[in-house]
Amino acid sequence: MKGYYHSKETFGTVDGAGIRYVLFLAGCNLQCAFCHNPDTWKRGSKMIGSQEVINEVNEYRSFYEASGGGFTMSGGEPMMQPEFVAEVFHLCKKNNISTTLDTSGLCAKEAFMKVLPYTDHVLFSLKAALPALHRKLTTVKTNTAIIENLCIVAKRKPVTLRYVVMPGITDSEIEIAAFIHIIRSLPAIDLSVDLLPYHKMGIPKWKALKMPYSLDYVEPPRAEVMAEVKVQLTAAGIRMAY
Ligand code: SF4
């Protein structure tokens, strides 16, 4: 089976444990206002076969094994091509390669049920806890389905829950309270939170694509802002990834 992809990275170090082969699939159904890779939104024509992916992973296998790394499927949104992800992950497991899924969680529940049996770890990015804020930051009307999927995933697999801290937007008292509420209501087996500071490095890509960037006025958070959000989460008994 073949999948639409945007790019690959053979020595990825930020998308899961150790050194990883990261395949960025093309296509995204969220289209976040702060996306730093808007060039991944459209599918384009680049395709790769599942066995071809495994052959490439095997080329660098010694590095992945020595570092405790493996294979990460990212995007765009990989769960828009669940059959392909499931097939590649299945082949990874047959070849003893660890698998990480990097997703924003918007897809049918059945899609997760296809992929999770072959998934070791999930990086789940929740864009906003409050539905109204989620609507503002993405093109999706509500985050209900995403939170339901987060629940399905957290019940079955270790999850690193990623959350972008944007000063004055995602760090408000009411939003953080809603974020804590969601996490505490999850039947999680192994969940930690990774707070990511908002950055503006993707703006040149928006300009190159001639798309208006609506968050020009937002500045990256100061260290104190990151620390304050961390304090609130840890005080609520939530484990941090770092
Ligand atoms: S889900 Fe990820 S790839 Fe898609 S728009 Fe949001 S940040 Fe960009």
Residue 37, ligand 1, Cβ within 6 A: yes
Confidence class for position 15, pLDDT limits 50, 70, 90? confident
Alpha-carbon distance of 53 to 195, in angstroms, equals: 30
Closest residue by Cα to atom 5, ligand 1, is 31
Residue (of 97, 218, 109, 223) closest to 166 by Cα position: 218
Tens-digit pLDDT profile for residues 129-153? 999 999 999 999 999 999 999 999 9
125 confidence band (pLDDT: 50, 70, 90)? very high
Q: Kindly report, residue by residue over 16-71, the tens digit of the pLDDT.
A: 889 999 999 999 999 999 999 999 999 999 999 999 999 999 999 999 999 999 99
Q: Is the CB of 30 under 6 A from ligand 1?
A: yes
> In degrees, to the nearest 5, what angle opens at C-alpha 34 toward C-alphas 29 and 40?
45
What is the residue whose two structure tokens read 């968050």? 215
Buried b (16+ CB within 10 A) or exposed e, 45-67: eeebebeebbebbeeebeebeee
pTM over 0.75: yes
